[in-house]
Structure 1
Amino acid sequence: MPSDRAVRITHSVLFGLTLLVSIIALIISATLVAHYNNEDIHRVWTTFFGIILTVGFQLLGTHLIFGILSHLIPVAIGFILYLIGSASLTGLTAKIDCGKSGDSFSRCGVVKGLVVISWIDTIILLLTLIFIIVLAFVARGRYGVHKSTLYAD
């Protein structure tokens, strides 16, 4: 079983990166939403849960409410939403060259930036998901995933 210190450091780094990249994606998508007036809820959702899980784990890490299962569900949903959003946005903008689009596609550079930051957040969420799944398999032998926290006993 990994040590408490290793779990705490890994959790802080992964969720801190997730939170930082989600905030950047939220800012970029907010400028696009203000321009195009569409909905882009999965970045808000990921940022919200990133804040809750990062702060909650640091303050109440041994409590069951911040256990493995409560981390696994929102991270898995966030990963799926980011994967779908990033793939569809990539498919939409793959053949568009911002230098040649002219006035026909305003905010082309911002949309391309959103594609990049979305894929970065998808990769970070995948790494976080792998980390939590590994801890879940380790915890399976102790109390089970439902009753285990991210700390070693």
Structure 2
Amino acid sequence: MASPGDEIAPQTTENHFTDPVEIRETAYNIERCIHLVPLDWFLVVSGEIHAWTYEHYLDNEQHFEKRGGQYSIDNVYFEYESEPNPDGTGKPFKMRVIDPNDDEIKCHPRTHYLIWLLDYDEESYEVVRIDPTEERDAVLVTIQERLPHVPRED
């Protein structure tokens, strides 16, 4: 695994959500795996839920205010055109979350955090879509094998 230190992703020491909820093939026979990642993980990573790690939150969930049901994902904006971050954590995406007081919380995770969380090799796979669920309590993360770069002929 190419993640930094002892963490799989920020505030996360183990892989989670590794079983796809759906596998699709594109018109070009490219397999896309879709994973469900709950809002609670993003709330821990962003510091909105004050837990040492996501695993600490899961082990002691009864001691934390239940946040996921009170918060909702308003939208997710995946920055397709942006360049990867120079720190090696992939492209950013923006998540707009509404808290119980109708205040906006902005999360700006990186795609590589999801690659590490879901236990994919960052050299071979990439995040191609991130969509909120209809319930607005999780996101569907679509991952596929990286395609070889084909230069344009001028």
- TM-score (normalised: structure 2): 0.23
Name the one with the larger helix percent.
1
* TM-score using structure 1 length: 0.23
Higher Rg of the two aligned structures: 1
**Structure showing greater relative contact order (alpha-carbon pairs closer than 8 Å, 6 or more residues apart):** 1
